[in-house]
Structure 1
Amino acid sequence: MTQLQSAVVLITGAAGGFGQELTRQLLLKGSRLILTDRPEIDLRSQVNQLQPTLGQLSGKIVACLSADLSTPAGCEDLYSQTQSLNLPIDVLINNAGIALLGHMVDIPAVHWEQLMQVNLITPMRLSTRFAADMVARRQGHIVNISSLAGWIAMPGLTAYAASKFGLRGFSEGLRHEVASFNVNVTTVYPCFSRTPMLQCPRFGRWDRADKTVPIPLTTDPVKVMARTIRAIERNQSEVFPDAIASSGRLAKCYLPALPDWISRQIGLSELSR
């Protein structure tokens, strides 16, 4: 079991929908949080707005750090900043991520390359850095927020799916490498959730189309992160924190034609013609 009471937890992408919910729920668990997001985001202001809704807490915000995780230098800067706090990281949650909607031929390379950096290379860099410390201490937990897109690649989400497929493979391999050192790796595969990521940039025919994710196919980030935190506490290797994600994974394994049918139902395939 991973004890979250008094644990030092580093959350990347802390200003996003999942990040804010992780912050709220982990504070209620009594964790000591180090939050990080892009330099242009005022994390401290967001935390101040959150505090009145929480009441008496046993957890606390240890630090709010700015870091540009779209660059290797930004990852190293974040690691250095955490080292200067002289607080060993018990749990690293790689939550930062971006999305793009559009066919690969319509998305400028600079955009999908940045997506791959933030969604895949950055978690690999940070996990490698902090895993080395955890292995030395024989204790720690790494959490990678992937997506159902790490199992099913739908049209318009090719770049995003590629990053999440990669994160799935990295997490699985790393899990085996660090298991004997009492370091756990949990990979989270949520479906579409009602966070700002649903309003991601669009390109080409997707930008011209009036298509949105149907509400019944979206999930509540409060419930998704509650199940994620429970999985962390139980040292689960993988978690599908909503019914759609769980069903989607089973369909991919046992009914591989079903994801194509789902694409047609929500209108995605129309944009592929």
Structure 2
Amino acid sequence: MTKLKKAVVLITGASGGFGQQLTRQLLEADSRLILTDINEDILRQRVAAIQTEVKTGEVLACLTSDLSDMQGCENLYHQVKALDTPVDILINNAGVAVFGRMDEIPSEKWEYLMQLNLLTPMRLSALFGAEMIARQQGHIVNISSLAGWTAIAGLSHYSASKFGLRGFSEGLFHEVKNYNVKVTAVYPFFSRTPILQAERFGTLAKDFQGVPEHLITDPSDVMRATIQGIIQNKLHVFPDATANRLHLLKRYFPPLVDWINNRLSRR
């Protein structure tokens, strides 16, 4: 089991919907947090609001870094190293989405998405994972998506990044398991976070009516299940009922998932 009490946890994308819940719930678990996001002012405001309600745990630092390229990842790594506190758990949570037909989304938009959603977790896992291997202790958590198992029209780029993150997580698991380093990949369905307001482009954006409200999950519940998966050292975590069901359907009844995707695409 992975222990959270007094564990040093680095969370990327800490001011987002999942990031705020991870911050809150890990403070409640008495963890020691290093938080990062692209806007330090917003990050500090949201952390301060959480700390008015949660008095346990400790925030060691709030750091600013644009993680969409290698320089930003290395900058974060050196900022964390300067704290002289080894990271026990790395949670690669930062991510973005865009919606639209693949040829109608500006290339700079989907290339930024691929950098942040896929290459950033790979880069940070290499930087911090090397230290975990040397210490023979650590845990790397990648927040993927159910879109890493099945793709719908309009989310080709997003799904590509999340499929890639799933494959990377599986391979990483086998590479580091002999060094007592754990790996967890998380596959939530659509949750009530800012990613639902992702930029939309072109033909598909005109017709898409959104995800059915009754299917959208509560991020606090999703992150609670995620944290339990981390504690239990699970490789794959499906933190809500819809994600779990659709993943099983994709594995055993793929034509049914295609039918569901068609229904969603027409909304």
Same fold (TM > 0.5): yes
Checking the alignment, whether the CA contact within 8 Å between 1:15 and 1:41 is kept in structure 2 is no
Residue 211 of structure 2 aligns to a residue whose secondary structure is coil
Q: Which amino acid aligns with 1:215?
A: E
- The structural deviation recorded for 1:112 is 0.5
- Within a 5 Å distance, the mapping from 1:97-246 to structure 2 comes to 97-209=95-207, 211-246=209-244
Residue 42 of structure 1 aligns to a residue whose secondary structure is helix
Q: Which amino acid aligns with 1:93?
A: I
One of 73, 76, 80 as aligned partner of 1:75: 73
| RMSD of aligned alpha carbons | 1.1
One of 234, 243, 250 as aligned partner of 2:248: 250
Partner of 1:32: 32
- The structural deviation recorded for 1:72 is 1.1
Checking the alignment, whether the CA contact within 8 Å between 1:175 and 1:185 is kept in structure 2 is yes
Partner of 1:61: 59
- The structural deviation recorded for 1:53 is 2.3
The whole-number CA distance in structure 2 between the counterparts of 1:7 and 1:240 is: 24
- The structural deviation recorded for 1:207 is 3.3
Farther off after superposition, 96-105 or 38-47 = 38-47
The whole-number CA distance in structure 2 between the counterparts of 1:208 and 1:19 is: 30
> 2:48 aligned with 1:48, yes or no?
yes
Q: Which amino acid aligns with 2:115?
A: Q
Residue 235 of structure 1 aligns to a residue whose secondary structure is coil
TM-score (norm 1): 0.95
Farther off after superposition, 205-214 or 25-34 = 205-214
Residue 97 of structure 2 aligns to a residue whose secondary structure is coil
The whole-number CA distance in structure 2 between the counterparts of 1:207 and 1:77 is: 36
Partner of 1:18: 18
The whole-number CA distance in structure 1 between the counterparts of 2:165 and 2:49 is: 32
- The structural deviation recorded for 1:41 is 4.7
- The structural deviation recorded for 1:40 is 5.9
TM-score (norm 2): 0.97
The whole-number CA distance in structure 2 between the counterparts of 1:188 and 1:72 is: 24
Structure 1: stretches of 5+ with no match in the other structure: none
The whole-number CA distance in structure 1 between the counterparts of 2:212 and 2:42 is: 32
Cα distance change of structure 1 residues 207 and 264 upon mapping to structure 2, 3 Å threshold: closer
Deviating runs (4+, > 4 A) in structure 1? none
Residue 61 of structure 2 aligns to a residue whose secondary structure is strand
The whole-number CA distance in structure 2 between the counterparts of 1:28 and 1:260 is: 40
Residue 79 of structure 2 aligns to a residue whose secondary structure is helix
Deviations 1:138-169 (A, max 9, x none): 00000000000000011000000000000000
Deviations 1:63-97 (A, max 9, x none): 00000011111000000000000000000000000
The whole-number CA distance in structure 2 between the counterparts of 1:126 and 1:48 is: 26
Checking the alignment, whether the CA contact within 8 Å between 1:98 and 1:118 is kept in structure 2 is yes
Farther off after superposition, 204-213 or 60-69 = 204-213
- The structural deviation recorded for 1:109 is 0.8
Deviations 1:178-215 (A, max 9, x none): 00000000000000001110000000023323511111
Give % identity: 58
Aligned length: 267
Q: Which amino acid aligns with 2:249?
A: A
Structure 2: stretches of 5+ with no match in the other structure: none
Q: Which amino acid aligns with 1:35?
A: L
- The structural deviation recorded for 1:42 is 2.6
- The structural deviation recorded for 1:262 is 1.0
The whole-number CA distance in structure 1 between the counterparts of 2:162 and 2:208 is: 26
- The structural deviation recorded for 1:261 is 1.2
The whole-number CA distance in structure 2 between the counterparts of 1:255 and 1:244 is: 15
